């Protein structure tokens, strides 16, 4: 019973500290910049792709609400993940430089709880408005198409979107804990975002060429299977693979067990490394 009471008190403390981090992050200039970006990117994409008069490329399908959500997920990756970078790139390095981290470490609270509160604070600061705007976007899709996605499709979209933002929060706080100053924090934070958002396709094509997979035609089944394997090592790629599991006529289908293992690894490995690194920090 004593252990259970201690566990409950620890969870209450974690919730309280995370709530404080969220409040500190929400009312900042960065969030004032981020909120219109999220609304324009996610809301605008869902409205535009669900318009029956929209002229889309021949290989882009937006015939039902979930296909529209899948196309909108591309804009989630550009806007919401960038929001995590804006909020979290200096989450640790700024406190270290200002001396606030040393003050926090002097408190009778374990570093693990402090680290988790930092992680949840950055994650939920961006995830909560992103999910609210995503739900609003579903209403926009209904307005245009007179159809809602199924409950399962909505749950999958919310679940996958929440996870990809958690993965990015873990990565950003990890690189922030490594950074020595604000300049290196910016470089590492934006660099990791560019790696997974802009450069990953080039890495996939390069590896395919080295391993003898035809990368000149990205529509062939061999390259599709190869790229799906490589994408499990990218948070963006895995996010897309999770959503593709509900789409028909997709050549990149992977077994559920492989997606499950990749999802578990991305959820726990980066965050665990961050907590380990946070416990080793010198102030």
Radius of gyration of the chain (CA): 20
% the chain with pLDDT above 70? 95
Task: Please give the Cα distance from 227 to 276 (Å, whole number).
Answer: 31
Contact (CB, 8 A) for 19 and 114 = no
* For the chain, domain boundaries: 2-280
Of the listed ranges 68-72, 164-168, 185-189, the least confidently predicted one is: 185-189
Task: Please give the Cα distance from 66 to 170 (Å, whole number).
Answer: 28
pLDDT for res 249: 66
- Kindly tell me if the per-residue pLDDT of 113 is higher than 60: yes
Stretch 64-80: mean pLDDT: 91
Please, what sign has the CA dihedral across residues 233, 239, 241, 37? negative
Of the listed ranges 27-36, 63-72, 102-111, 165-174, the least confidently predicted one is: 102-111
- Kindly tell me if the per-residue pLDDT of 105 is higher than 90: no
Q: Which two tokens mark 20?
A: 């404080």
pLDDT for res 63: 81
* Mean per-residue pLDDT of the chain: 87
pLDDT for res 275: 94
pLDDT tens-digit map of 234-280:
999 999 999 988 887 665 678 889 999 999 999 999 999 999 999 88
Of the listed ranges 56-60, 94-98, 215-219, 227-231, the least confidently predicted one is: 56-60
Task: Please give the Cα distance from 192 to 168 (Å, whole number).
Answer: 9
* Choice between 91 and 113, residue whose per-residue pLDDT is larger: 113
Instruction: Give the model's confidence band at 102: pLDDT under 50 very low, under 70 low, under 90 confident, else very high.
Output: confident
- Kindly tell me if the per-residue pLDDT of 35 is higher than 90: yes
């Amino acid at each position: 019973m004593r252990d259970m009471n201690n566990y409950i008190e620890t969870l209450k403390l974690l919730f309280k500290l995370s709530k404080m981090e969220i409040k500190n992050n929400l009312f900042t200039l960065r969030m004032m910049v981020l909120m219109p970006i999220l609304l324009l990117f996610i809301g605008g994409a869902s409205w535009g792709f669900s318009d029956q008069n929209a002229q889309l490329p021949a290989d882009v399908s937006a015939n039902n609400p979930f296909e529209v959500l899948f196309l909108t997920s591309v804009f989630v990756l550009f806007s919401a993940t960038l929001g995590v970078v804006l909020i979290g790139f200096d989450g640790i390095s700024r406190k270290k430089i200002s001396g606030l981290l040393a003050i926090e470490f002097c408190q009778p609270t374990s570093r693990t709880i402090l680290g988790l509160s930092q992680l949840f604070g950055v994650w939920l600061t961006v995830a909560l408005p992103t999910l609210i705007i995503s739900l609003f976007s579903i209403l926009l899709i209904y307005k245009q198409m007179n159809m809602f996605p199924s409950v399962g499709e909505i749950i999958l979209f919310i679940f996958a979107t929440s996870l990809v933002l958690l993965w990015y929060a873990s990565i950003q706080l990890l690189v922030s804990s490594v950074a020595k100053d604000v300049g290196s924090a910016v470089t590492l934070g934006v660099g990791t975002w560019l790696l997974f958002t802009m450069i990953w396709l080039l890495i996939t094509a390069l590896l395919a060429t080295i391993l003898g997979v035809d990368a000149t035609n990205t529509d062939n089944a061999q390259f599709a299977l190869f790229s799906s394997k490589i994408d499990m090592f990218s948070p963006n790629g895995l996010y897309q693979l999770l959503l593709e599991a509900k789409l028909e006529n997709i050549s990149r289908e992977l077994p559920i067990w492989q997606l499950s293992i990749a999802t578990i690894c991305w959820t726990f490995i980066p965050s665990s490394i961050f907590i380990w690194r946070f416990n080793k920090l010198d102030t």
